[in-house]
Amino acid sequence: MFRVKDHIISLVAVFLALGLGILIGTGISENMLVKQQRLLIDQMSRDFRVQRQEKVMLEAQLQAASRDLYLWEKFRSALYPGLVTGTLAGKNIAVVSHGAEIPPGVLAILHDAEAEITNVVKVADQSRLIEPVNGLGKALAMMISGNSIDHQQQEILDRFAATEMLEIQFSASEKPEAIILILGEQANTSNELVQQICENLDPEQLILIGLEWSEVTDSVLNDLKTLGFSTIDNADTAFGQFSLLSVLRGTPGNYGIKSTADQFVSTF
């Protein structure tokens, strides 16, 4: 027979069980949360210590690199006059760039070496050559090598100059002993134009040198190597510029930091 007393006892037992379950569950959850927080704090502490150690190491490396750079600049300054000043006195040199700016140090070191610059010519990037380059390469080669150009070739030069696809910054009539061709990325370079220029320069009569910046990734210099050019792929650095002086003084070769180079720097 169902009794009210039994019913009350059952309800009390249920509520006691429910309360006990809540209490136990809350305790377990709090313990797990505290444990997870402690693990997270420990991991963050370890990461912080590692990052602090890396920071100290990087600061030490930076200080060492700064010291080495300072010493290198002092060393370079001490050597520069003896290696550079007057070493190219009286040598006529023409400079042509296409698809790249002329590294500032190149003209500066040629000036300090007392070379005579006969031509400084800049041809725009391939994307800006809005008309066919037929005849332009030959006209340029004739001009920078000090040979006579005919009326048609002069018209070609004038037409490209008028549309700012060609900039003749300086031009003299003296014949050069050396021609420096500075090129950029393949995408910025007209292979047809470069081929025309090279076909009309005599490697038996001229020192031919191809230069590029260190940052160039898709190089054209390998094509110049096959055409008898010496090449320097880090012309924006002191090492490349010293190699340039060496080549101009009669030490041909392929120098720099990329796959086209055979040596890092030329001997003096």
Residues 125 and 94 in one domain: yes
Range of the domain at 47: 1-84
Judge whether 6 lies within some domain: yes
Q: What is the number of domains present in the chain?
A: 2
Residues 101 and 234 in one domain: yes
Of 62, 84, 106, the last residue of a domain is 84
Judge whether 263 lies within some domain: no
Q: What is the CATH number of the domain that holds 128?
A: 3.40.50
Residues 164 and 38 in one domain: no
CA distance linking residue 215 with residue 194, whole number of Å: 20
Three-state DSSP string of 207-259: EEEEECCCCCCCCCHHHHHHCCCEEECCCCCHHHHHHHHHHHCCCCCEECCCC
pTM: 0.73
Residues 162 and 139 in one domain: yes
Residues 5 and 126 in one domain: no
Of 53, 84, 115, the last residue of a domain is 84
Judge whether 74 lies within some domain: yes
266: Cβ contacts below 8 Å, ≥ 6 apart: 242, 243, 246, 247, 251, 253, 255
Q: Which residues of 60-99 are buried (b: 16+ CB within 10 A; e: fewer)?
A: eeeeeeeeeeeeeeeeeeeeeeebbeebbeebbbbbbbbb
CB atoms within 10 A of CB 48: 10
Using 50 as the pLDDT threshold, list the residues of the chain that sit under it.
none
Of 84, 102, 127, the last residue of a domain is 84
pLDDT at 148: 87
Judge whether 124 lies within some domain: yes
Which H or E run contains 118? Answer: strand 116-123
**Tokens matching residue 71:** 């010493």
Judge whether 260 lies within some domain: no
pLDDT at 103: 93
Q: How many angstroms separate the first and last alpha carbons of the chain? A: 118
